[in-house]
Amino acid sequence: MTPAPVQLVWFKRDLRVADHAPLAEAAARGPVLPLWIVEPGLWAEPDASGRQYVVQRAAAAELDADLAALGQRLVVRVGEAVAVLEAIRRTLGIAAIWAHQETTGAFGHARDRRVRAWARAHGIPVHERRQTGVIRALASRDGWARRWEAFTAAPIVTPPRALVPVVIEPGRIPEPAEIGLAPDPCPGLAPGGRRAAESLLASFLAARAATYRRAMASPLAGWSACSRLSPHFATGTLSIREAAQASRAARARAPGPLREGIDSFLTRLAWHCHFIQKLESEPALEHRALHPACEGLRADGPGTERFDRWASGATGWPFVDACMRCLAATGWLNFRARAMLVSVATMHLWLDWRPVGLHLARLFADYEPGIHWSQVQMQSGSTGVNTIRLYNPVKQGLDQDPDGVFIRRWVPELSFLPAPAIHRPWEAGVSGYPAPIGDHAALAVSARERLWSVRRGEGYRRAADAIQERHGSRRSGMRQTGQRRRAAQAALDLDP
């Protein structure tokens, strides 16, 4: 008897068996072929890097073990998606494809279009389910927060009890070099995989969240006070719903500061989806400034001295360099330090946000296109609707690293300097560390002037209002009245 065609579950950035609706639904219908496609084309994109792959690989290895315990190992194939699917169709037959919706960059969009056309041609249904609060083909932002609450409160999907084995060679997870990835040393990279995610969530909700609000702004204290779950949301080893429900349960029994920390964390879980929704609704924001008047403001990127010094952690502003070097060595930074790196690059150094964003994307082990490009646009003043913050690189160091501990760790050339002198080494006549790339205060004023002249332009406000309507949050706390919105549009915050 010929075996029945398989129910193919295509794992992408949802590398877990828990809270996985496509897996559960597929398993209820017949033998499941769980597939992970390693696409060399995707890994050749300019925003991809070896460290991101290492995190995904670890997640896929644990997923393989979890699926094996259910009865069927993860099937790994390297190649172009349609070619991989076609080979499986020819040998086993495919009854249906099950997957989570994914908000991706241009490569993923084009690949999904090709797969849908191929599936249609062969009469194979493709069933996609939501895995975050992001809503496909969203008509209006009204009511979005309510729908996010409902999505995250829905029951967690239990994994199937067992999978019927399929006769197929499982394949092997390739080494980074085998798919053309250049070496990407990252000695401080945090481990990927479901077990690490569970342990981070548990320690955060039990204790670490108590210092979260106080410490999240510092790259030093934030290392242990932030959840550090972002690479897990990016690879899907933990779902947003699992994190939200565990947080709500922990919150109910948590004392004061712990409860407040968990509340802030829950707010950020909603931000995760709020920002990805922007790319879902406007895929072009990966490449084009949201506000048309902000397009083409800057042109410079790699190859200019300003870019290369910023990218290599050699601006001569110690706190900025420490943040860049920490990121290069660990794949992680807290929110404020990320924002400052973009602000310094695109304001003080007047570099184009696109190559700036690409450089950071490759360094982020938690790279999530929807959050990343929305944030890069926001911090570079390209959205037209947010207050623009020009971070003062020296003041940020004094505020977030007053004793210079973080700088000493990442810029050892300066380790002999006491604080506060370590924040302004040029005043101490230090050798062996670059002189500052410029006078940051003067550079900030000049950036502000340039941005002001754009914001004063004809029709600027009208376009900004339309952007706010399309992408702005409607949450009560964040709702912007016309007056507040205009104030935000007019605001250029210098960090004196």
* Cβ distance to ligand FAD smaller for residue 73 or 362: 362
Quick note: the x/- pattern for ligand FAD over 300-319, rule CB under 6 A, is --------------------
* Cβ distance to ligand FAD smaller for residue 119 or 234: 234
CB of 378 to ligand FAD, least distance (A): 7
97 beta partners: 8, 126
Tokens of 110: 């084009």
* Cβ distance to ligand FAD smaller for residue 278 or 309: 278
CB of 286 to ligand FAD, least distance (A): 12
Which amino acid appears at position 176 of this protein? P
CB neighbours of residue 131 within 10 Å: 23
N-term to C-term CA, the chain: 77
Q: Round to whole Å and give the CA distance between 34 and 73.
A: 7
Q: Is 281 among the residues that bind ligand FAD (CB under 6 A)?
A: no
33 beta partners: 8
Q: Is 353 among the residues that bind ligand FAD (CB under 6 A)?
A: no
Among 272, 278, 362, 440, binds ligand FAD (CB under 6 A): 272
Q: Is 184 among the residues that bind ligand FAD (CB under 6 A)?
A: no
* Cβ distance to ligand FAD smaller for residue 72 or 227: 227
119 beta partners: none
CB of 143 to ligand FAD, least distance (A): 20
* Cβ distance to ligand FAD smaller for residue 13 or 77: 13
Q: Is 280 among the residues that bind ligand FAD (CB under 6 A)?
A: no
Q: Is 367 among the residues that bind ligand FAD (CB under 6 A)?
A: yes
Q: Is 233 among the residues that bind ligand FAD (CB under 6 A)?
A: yes
Q: Is 371 among the residues that bind ligand FAD (CB under 6 A)?
A: yes
Q: Round to whole Å and give the CA distance between 292 and 330.
A: 35
CB of 25 to ligand FAD, least distance (A): 26
Q: Name the segment binding ligand FAD (CB under 6 A); options: 60-68, 91-99, 187-195, 230-238.
A: 230-238
CB neighbours of residue 161 within 10 Å: 8
Could you give the count of Cα atoms lying within 13 Å of 33 in the half-sphere of its Cβ? 28
Q: Name the segment binding ligand FAD (CB under 6 A); options: 72-80, 286-294, 307-315, 360-368.
A: 360-368
User: Which residue's structure tokens are 């982020």?
Assistant: 364
- Indicate the pairing of strand 32-38 with strand 6-11: parallel
Tokens of 415: 């380790």
Among 368, 386, 437, 451, binds ligand FAD (CB under 6 A): 368
Q: Is 148 among the residues that bind ligand FAD (CB under 6 A)?
A: no
Q: Name the segment binding ligand FAD (CB under 6 A); options: 60-68, 75-83, 374-382, 396-404.
A: 374-382
Q: Round to whole Å and give the CA distance between 98 and 36.
A: 12
Tokens of 175: 């080494």
Q: Is 375 among the residues that bind ligand FAD (CB under 6 A)?
A: yes
CB of 368 to ligand FAD, least distance (A): 4
Q: Is 342 among the residues that bind ligand FAD (CB under 6 A)?
A: yes
Q: Round to whole Å and give the CA distance between 216 and 265.
A: 11
Q: Round to whole Å and give the CA distance between 445 and 136.
A: 41
SS3 of 37, please?
strand
Tokens of 413: 């050339």
Among 111, 338, 354, 359, binds ligand FAD (CB under 6 A): 338
- Helix (H) / strand (E) containing 391: none
Among 335, 434, 446, 470, binds ligand FAD (CB under 6 A): 335
Q: Is 223 among the residues that bind ligand FAD (CB under 6 A)?
A: no
* Cβ distance to ligand FAD smaller for residue 216 or 430: 216
CB 67 within 8 A of CB 24: no
Among 339, 385, 394, 443, binds ligand FAD (CB under 6 A): 339
Q: Is 364 among the residues that bind ligand FAD (CB under 6 A)?
A: yes
- Indicate the pairing of strand 388-390 with strand 492-494: parallel
Under rule CB under 6 A, how many of the chain's residues touch ligand FAD?
Answer: 28
SS3 string of 179-244? HCCCCCCCCCCCCCCHHHHHHHHHHHHHCHHHHHHHHCCCCCCHHHHCCCCHHHHHHCCCCHHHHH
Q: Round to whole Å and give the CA distance between 356 and 309.
A: 12
CB of 283 to ligand FAD, least distance (A): 16
Binding site for ligand FAD (CB under 6 A): 216, 226-230, 233-234, 265, 268-269, 271-272, 275, 334-335, 338-339, 342, 364, 366-368, 371-372, 375-376, 379
